[in-house]
Chains A and B, each alone.
Chain A
Amino acid sequence: MTVRTWGIIGTGPMGRGIAELVASKGFEVILVGRTPAELDRARACVDQSLAHQIEHWAITDAEKKLTLSRIHSTTELTQLADADFVIAAFVAEIEEDKELFRTLDQVCRKDVILASNTSTLSITEMASATFRPGNVIGTHFVPPMTKTRVVEIVRGLKTTDETVAKVMDLMGALDRKGVEVYESTGYVTTRLIVPLINEACATLLEGVATADAIDTAMRLGYEMARGPLEIADRIGLDTVLVMCERLWREYGEVRYRPARLLKKLVRAGHLGVETGEGFFRYDAKGHRINGGGNA
């Protein structure tokens, strides 16, 4: 079965990021959200992101229109009966995910692969809620989805080789490199970036350097496109906190224990680019406002 239509569940940065990427590569997308308002907001975000790409000469007006026309919004999971590949892309607790996979198992055709974008929850556990555990897989897109060229392909206990091969091909069609990883909380990307962000928070809190100095030192020191604190702002500090807590719970290692500053910012509703403020300040287009250091 060739994949023409992707079902994507979730309208947050993950869901709409994947939707934009997939639609821009010529696939049809059925984007499922909780409410029409959330779906409208997701569409507006994709519109804005595409407009930003036109400003950067990356695409043309016609290509933008075409990409948007491929994204079909709905609040009904049953619409996914038409999808050839389905990915759950929102932060949830495992019980919620299992419930979702149970429903998807009933809605989607038998040959359809069900994927989750989680980086911390168990694919095996989600698969156990379905009658197709061989066709359940993890595909962890690393944000920003439209730019980052790697996707972690996660095997659950029962994921078949055929499913892995199919998904690897599918990532190739998105111009993404699939990296195979075994089920393990945080895989590679999350497990390595979270302690870095966490340590950057601690460094900031201890007053060793300003947020800007920390990011500049890491950016120039290790040729990173962005420093750890801006990376955190772009992932979303609430998401980073969830990642920390799950790694902390799973491994029990102190290095994963969420830094107090991180918790404080999340409680204050400073979630990063999404809310315009995190470690740094951002304008509506997500550009960093210079000199806008917050902490």
Chain B
Amino acid sequence: MKVLVLNCGSSSLKYQFLNMETEQVLATGLIQRIGMEDAIFEYKVPGGKEIKDVTPILDHTTATKKMLAALVHKEYGVVADPSEIKAVGHRVVHGGEAFTGSVLINDEVKNTLRVLIDLAPLHNPANLTGILAAEAALPGTPQVGVFDTAFHQTMPRKAFLYALPYAMYKRHKVRRYGFHGTSHKYVSERVAACMGKPLSELKVITAHMGNGCSICAIDGGKSVDTSMGFTPLEGLIMGTRSGDIDPGALFYIMSREDLTVQELNSMLNKHSGMRGISGISSDSRQIEEEMEKGDERAKETFDMFEYRLRKYIGSYIAAMNGCDAIVFTGGIGENSDLLRSSVCNNLRYFGVTIDESINKPRSKKERKISGADSKIDVWVIPTNEELVIARDTRDLVESLKK
């Protein structure tokens, strides 16, 4: 079965096309600046043709159609006809409590997604746009939603409830949901495979450090706690998001700056995090560059970023009463050797050591970076959310036929 995986942002569309018999990637690409006259269309066949085109793409439906045209192109396409695309899998950020696993998309699911927009205002509207665009471009093809929140539905109540009046949970479903579930799930399964041990016997901490950052405590293959909460705003410091903050400070800021709820929401989601502290950039690479040049604020930003992450690792070791492996993944987790060594060098109390000869060199491979004497394994595992989405999509669509 051939499956198309879509990850839709507000002005971007990331796609991967896989043959699920072999789990081989047939084509991949990214469309950026959707809605503009100079949108960027990228299409790539692994080990083959690469296309990059600047062209007006005014909406996601047009973007989807352009992608399909490339997939069936006579010269560089990978299928003869769009009908060979048997299913479409979508990454959807927030599934609330309504979705504890991946689902086939129907009208009811779409309505629920609309209701959930409030919970993930940066992501869910775009995900929904992607679903509608794919429906328009591939009518009748089954579509599956794979939720960032689903993996964390195994969390115990003591971990997901907030100490608010219980009515807030009963009435409004205010609780910890957690995000990046597909990524945490994938890298925990991979690290178990790499270690040659069953995941059911491991305690793993996975740190997904990308544009958004979250960390997850996985005991026996089940998420037992994670740093993102009701929204993707809680927990670690991120590119433009604050992460944990005293809620009391927010009321004070609102009255002092005369802010509306929406303005405060925007401040915390778009103007805070590394961007807000450093005043330089939301991109950790740029922060590290400035830090090397001696910029004090950049140094402080990095230190805060690292410190918050390390505190969470410590707390999750306590939460699970042990830890067999720590995994770094996501853009920053996979590429910043500085972050990894800073964290590991401050976890010596737990017996963590790091082998800089493996940590330092850039690589896209799965690799163990802890020293031979380390009590806890430390790994870098490149995440592959698309593969998890494609697998879930295949499984659901196949079960449909039975």
A→B interface (CB under 8 Å): 4, 26, 53, 56-60
**B299 within 8 Å of A (CB atoms):** no
- Could you show 7 A-B contacts with beta carbons less than 8 Å apart? A53-B263, A56-B260, A56-B263, A57-B257, A57-B266, A57-B271, A60-B270
Q: Which residues of chain A are within 8 angstroms of B264 by Cβ–Cβ distance?
A: 57
Cβ of B255 to closest chain A Cβ, rounded Å: 14
* Contact of A57 with B58 in the complex, beta carbons under 8 Å: no
Q: Which residues of chain A are within 8 angstroms of B58 by Cβ–Cβ distance?
A: 4
A65 to B60, CA, bound (A): 21
With CB as the reference atom, state the residue of chain A lying closest to B253.
A57
Q: Which residues of chain A are within 8 angstroms of B357 by Cβ–Cβ distance?
A: none
* Contact of A60 with B35 in the complex, beta carbons under 8 Å: no
A58 to B266, CA, bound (A): 5
**B267 within 8 Å of A (CB atoms):** yes
Cβ of A55 to closest chain B Cβ, rounded Å: 9
Cβ of A149 to closest chain B Cβ, rounded Å: 11
A4 to B388, CA, bound (A): 35
Cβ of B209 to closest chain A Cβ, rounded Å: 22
A53 to B259, CA, bound (A): 10
* Contact of B271 with A56 in the complex, beta carbons under 8 Å: no
**B399 within 8 Å of A (CB atoms):** no
**B22 within 8 Å of A (CB atoms):** no
How many inter-chain residue pairs (CB < 8 Å) link A and B? 25
Q: Within B35-59, which residues are at the interface with A (CB < 8 Å)?
A: 35, 58-59
The list of the 6 closest CB pairs from A to B, nearest first, reads A57-B267, A58-B263, A56-B263, A57-B271, A58-B266, A60-B270
Q: Which residues of chain A are within 8 angstroms of B111 by Cβ–Cβ distance?
A: none
**B262 within 8 Å of A (CB atoms):** yes
With CB as the reference atom, state the residue of chain A lying closest to B10.
A26
With CB as the reference atom, state the residue of chain B lying closest to A56.
B263
B→A interface (CB under 8 Å): 35, 58-59, 257-260, 262-264, 266-267, 270-271
Of A53, A56, A59, chain B has the most CB atoms within 10 Å of the CB of A56
Cβ of B262 to closest chain A Cβ, rounded Å: 7
With CB as the reference atom, state the residue of chain A lying closest to B11.
A66
A56 to B266, CA, bound (A): 9
Point out the residue from B59, B257, B270 that lies within 8 Å of A56, measured CB to CB: B257
Q: Which residues of chain A are within 8 angstroms of B263 by Cβ–Cβ distance?
A: 53, 56-58
With CB as the reference atom, state the residue of chain B lying closest to A58.
B263
* Contact of B35 with A26 in the complex, beta carbons under 8 Å: yes
Point out the residue from B35, B59, B259 that lies within 8 Å of A57, measured CB to CB: B259
A59 to B264, CA, bound (A): 10
A4 to B58, CA, bound (A): 9
With CB as the reference atom, state the residue of chain A lying closest to B37.
A69
Q: Which residues of chain B are within 8 angstroms of A53 by Cβ–Cβ distance?
A: 263
Cβ of A128 to closest chain B Cβ, rounded Å: 36
A57 to B262, CA, bound (A): 9
Q: Which residues of chain B are within 8 angstroms of A60 by Cβ–Cβ distance?
A: 270-271
A293 to B249, CA, bound (A): 34
Q: Which residues of chain B are within 8 angstroms of A56 by Cβ–Cβ distance?
A: 257-260, 263
Cβ of B251 to closest chain A Cβ, rounded Å: 15
* Contact of B35 with A58 in the complex, beta carbons under 8 Å: no
Q: Which residues of chain B are within 8 angstroms of A59 by Cβ–Cβ distance?
A: 266, 270
Q: Which residues of chain B are within 8 angstroms of A4 by Cβ–Cβ distance?
A: 58-59
Cβ of A261 to closest chain B Cβ, rounded Å: 30
With CB as the reference atom, state the residue of chain B lying closest to A54.
B271
Cβ of A50 to closest chain B Cβ, rounded Å: 13
Cβ of A49 to closest chain B Cβ, rounded Å: 14
Cβ of A67 to closest chain B Cβ, rounded Å: 12
Cβ of A230 to closest chain B Cβ, rounded Å: 15
Q: Which residues of chain A are within 8 angstroms of B271 by Cβ–Cβ distance?
A: 57, 60
A58 to B259, CA, bound (A): 9
With CB as the reference atom, state the residue of chain A lying closest to B35.
A26
Supply 5 further A-B pairs (C-beta < 8 A) apart from A56-B263, A58-B266. Answer: A53-B263, A56-B259, A57-B257, A57-B259, A58-B262
Cβ of A235 to closest chain B Cβ, rounded Å: 20
Q: Which residues of chain B are within 8 angstroms of A26 by Cβ–Cβ distance?
A: 35
With CB as the reference atom, state the residue of chain B lying closest to A57.
B267
Cβ of A23 to closest chain B Cβ, rounded Å: 12
Q: Which residues of chain A are within 8 angstroms of B59 by Cβ–Cβ distance?
A: 4
Q: Which residues of chain A are within 8 angstroms of B258 by Cβ–Cβ distance?
A: 56
With CB as the reference atom, state the residue of chain B lying closest to A4.
B58
A57 to B258, CA, bound (A): 11
Q: Which residues of chain B are within 8 angstroms of A58 by Cβ–Cβ distance?
A: 260, 262-263, 266
Cβ of B126 to closest chain A Cβ, rounded Å: 11
A59 to B259, CA, bound (A): 13
A125 to B68, CA, bound (A): 49
A26 to B58, CA, bound (A): 11
Q: Which residues of chain A are within 8 angstroms of B259 by Cβ–Cβ distance?
A: 56-57
Of A26, A53, A57, chain B has the most CB atoms within 10 Å of the CB of A57
A60 to B258, CA, bound (A): 18
Of A26, A53, A58, chain B has the most CB atoms within 10 Å of the CB of A58
Q: Which residues of chain A are within 8 angstroms of B267 by Cβ–Cβ distance?
A: 57
A60 to B59, CA, bound (A): 22
Cβ of A139 to closest chain B Cβ, rounded Å: 22
A26 to B34, CA, bound (A): 11
Cβ of B45 to closest chain A Cβ, rounded Å: 32
Cβ of B240 to closest chain A Cβ, rounded Å: 8
Cβ of B117 to closest chain A Cβ, rounded Å: 11
Cβ of B241 to closest chain A Cβ, rounded Å: 13
A26 to B36, CA, bound (A): 11
Q: Which residues of chain A are within 8 angstroms of B270 by Cβ–Cβ distance?
A: 57, 59-60
Of B59, B257, B260, B266, chain A has the most CB atoms within 10 Å of the CB of B266
